[in-house]
Structure 1
C-alpha cells in the first residue's frame, strides 16, 4: 500500500524543485530527493527526509525507493536556456528528459506497491510558435525542436497511466522568480533605464509566478481530478511588448529601447526563438479545477517579486 505522505522528487535543486520541496515539507510530506549527487543536494536543500543517488540512464538501488511512495514528481532535465543549442546539446536536452522519465516509469512498473500519482514536467513549448490563437490543453502540438522534445517527454510519462497511475503533465511557461531564471535578466536593463521589448514585440509571453507554478504542481499531486496535460501559465498572458511596459511601470523605468530579434539570433543561435516567438497559453484545466491564482496579472506578480 502506498505511503500517503512519501513523495519522490527529481530536479529538486533547480529553481522550481527547491521551492516545491519547501512547500511539500511544510505540508507534512516526507520528501525523498532523487539526485545524481545526493551529498550536494543535501547541502543545498537540507530539509528533505531522504536523499537517494539516482542514475537516470539505468536502473539501480534507487528504484526500490519508488515502491510504496504516494507520488513521484519528475522535474529534472538539462537547462533549455543558458547554452547555445549545438547538435550535441540538443541531444542532451532530449535524452535528459526522455531517458530519465523512461527509467522512472520502468521502476514504477516493477514496483509491487505502485505510486498513486506521477507528476511529470513538460513545457508550453509543446504548442510550438503560434499566433494570437488561445491555446488550452486540447490544442495540437507544434513541430519545432522544443515541441518535439515535449511530445517525446510526455509520451514516455504517459506510459505510467497504462499502469493505473494517475499521470499529470505540467506544461510550464516562463517561471518568474526574483533571483533566478528569466526575470533578473529581463529586469537588469530597466534598472539602468535601457529596457524595452524583444522585437517583434507581438509574440506572446506565457509567464507564471513561481508561487503559482508550485501551487499547480501541488494541485496535480493532490487533486484526484487532475489528469493529463495541465498548462502552468498565468490566466492573463501578455505580448512581450505589453509585459515589458508593465515591467517598466513597476520599476519606474521607460520601455523605449527594443531589442532586435536578429541580434539575439546572432548572439544565441536557435535558442533565440524562445524569446522572439511565443504562445498565447490559457490555463483552462487549472481554472476548471478551481485553482485560484495568487498572481493572475503581471503587475501583481512583478510588484511582489521586485518588492515594488
Structure 2
C-alpha cells in the first residue's frame, strides 16, 4: 500500500462507496463524514474517520495538512425521487450551500496547511452547461448555462478553482447521469417500464449523458493519478443518447414496451422545478478524458444496463 493519504468526502454516497472499495488497498484513506461511526460501519478499512460538515472551517481541517489528495463528492441530492424533496426555496439553498460552502471550507483548509495536497478532485455536474432540448454537442470548453443548476455548478467550480491558485492540481468532475439499479435516477426511470407503461419523456430529443459507475470511479482515479488532468473533466460515456433512444434501450433490456410518452406538464405537476432534471438534457462529450487516453469500460448503453442489472449480454 502507498503511504499517500487521500481525504474523501461523500464517501457513504453511491460513488463514494465504490471509490473507497477501488482505492482502499492502494492508498491510506481518510473519510470525512457527518457521522463517522456510521461511515466506519459502512466502509471498514480506512485509515481514519473524521467528523466533518460543509462549513468554511472546523477542527477537521487539520487532517488535510499533509494529505496527498482530496476527493470532494459531498452535496445535498439534486434529484430525490418522484415522492421526495421538491425544490422549495429552502432546499435550493441547501443544494447550493452544501456544495459552495463545503468546497470553500476544503480549500480554506488547503490554504492553511503547511503541506498542501498535490491534487484536488471536486465533484461538479454536466448541469453546468444548462438545459437543452436538442443534441448540441458540449465539451469542457462550452459556456455555462444560466438556470439554477448551472449557476450552482459555476459557483461550486469557482470555489474549487481557488485551490489551483494555491499550487494544487485541481479537477472539476462534471458528472452525467450515473446509472445504478438501487439508487439515483435509474430506479425512477425503470419503474414505469416495470409497470409496462414506459416510454420517452417528451420532447424525447433531450440527450442524457449517462455513465456506468465503473467509469465514474475510473475517471476519478484517472484524475488523481494522471498529472495531465486538470480543470473541468466531463464524466459521461462517449455515446450519450436522446431520451427517446434511451427509453427504447431501457425497454429492450427490461423486456417492456417503450412507446407511452410522458408529457412534460405531468412531470411539472409531480416534481415542480425539479422536472428540469429529466425534461432537459446535455449532449456532454468526454473529449478531454478521451484525448488524455482514458479507456472507458462501457461506451454503449445496452451492455452497461445489462451489466448493472445482471442480465445476459
Answer whether TM exceeds 0.5 for this pair. Answer: yes
Does structure 1 residue 76 correspond to structure 2 residue 78? no
Q: Which residue of 2 is the match for residue 300 of structure 1? A: 303
Contact map agreement 1:158 1:167 (CA 8 A) in 2: yes
Instruction: Tell me how far apart the structure 2 counterparts of residues 60 and 279 of structure 1 sit (CA, whole Å).
Output: 37
Aligned match of 1:103: 105
Say which SS state the counterpart of residue 24 (structure 2) adopts: helix
Q: Which segment is superposed worse, 149-158 or 247-256?
A: 247-256
Contact 2:56/2:104 (8 A) holds in 1: no
1:273 to partner: Cα distance: 0.7
Is residue 56–residue 108 contact of structure 2 (8 Å, CA) maintained in 1? no
- Structure-1 residue corresponding to 2:11: 12
Aligned to 1:153: 156
- Give how far 1:58 is off: 4.1
1:222/1:4 CA distance change after superposition, 3 Å: farther
The corresponding residue for 2:52 is 54
Give unpaired runs (5+ residues) of structure 2: none
CA distance in 1, matches of 2:92, 2:118: 33
Deviations 1:229-282 (A, max 9, x none): 000001000000100100111111110211111100011000101100001010
Q: CA RMSD in A?
A: 1.1
Q: CA deviation at 1:44?
A: 1.8
| Residue of structure 2 equivalent to 1:186 | 189
Q: Provide Cα deviations, 1:103-158, integer angstroms capped at 9, x if missing partner.
A: 11010001011000000000000000123211010000000000000000000000
What secondary structure does 2:63 align onto?
helix
- What CA distance in whole angstroms lies between the structure 2 residues aligned with 1:56 and 1:253? 43
The yes-or-no answer on 1:38 pairing with 2:33 is no
1:169 aligns with 2:168: no
My pick for the range that moved more, 34-43 or 224-233, is: 34-43
Q: Does 1:269 align with 2:268?
A: no
Mapped to 1, the partners of 2:41 and 2:255 lie a distance apart of 38
SS in 2 for 1:62: helix
Gap regions ≥5 residues in structure 1 = none
Could you list the per-position Cα deviations for residues 170-198 of structure 1 after superposition, in whole angstroms to 9, with x for gaps in the alignment? 00001001211111221122223221111
Is 1:91 the counterpart of 2:93? The answer is yes
Select 1:247's aligned residue among 250, 259, 279: 250
TM-score by length of 2: 0.95
Corresponding position of 1:24: 23
The aligned residue for residue 286 of structure 2 is 283
Give the TM-score normalised by the residue count of structure 1: 0.97
* Length, aligned pairs only: 305
